[in-house]
Amino acid sequence: MRIGSVLVVIWLVIGLAAAGQRHYLGGDSKPSCAKVGTTLVTIVAGPLNYVGVNPKVKCSTPQPSK
């Protein structure tokens, strides 16, 4: 159980490093559905980012009615 937990934490830390290297974690622009989704998918993909996986999320939020 502990080894599994440690592996999950290491996996997510590597994903967090990949997101940081791709500048997804900077607060330089307004957050959007696509940016947040891409950041989260990059973190979850973990070490796969370093073997060619480049996850991207495309989404749009509905505009409020008038």
* pLDDT at position 13: 95
Token pair in block for residue 65: 């009615």
* pLDDT at position 5: 94
- Cα 52–56–60 angle (5° rounding)? 175
The position carrying tokens 């009615």 is 65
* pLDDT at position 3: 94
The position carrying tokens 């080894």 is 3
Q: Which one is predicted more confidently, 56 or 60?
A: 56
Q: How far is residue 10's CA from residue 15's CA, in Å, rounded to a whole number?
A: 9
* pLDDT at position 4: 93
* pLDDT at position 6: 95
Segments making up each domain of the chain, as ranges: 2-51
Mind listing the pLDDT tens digit for each residue in 6-50? Answer: 999 999 999 999 999 988 888 767 778 888 888 999 999 999 989
Q: How far is residue 35's CA from residue 8's CA, in Å, rounded to a whole number?
A: 23
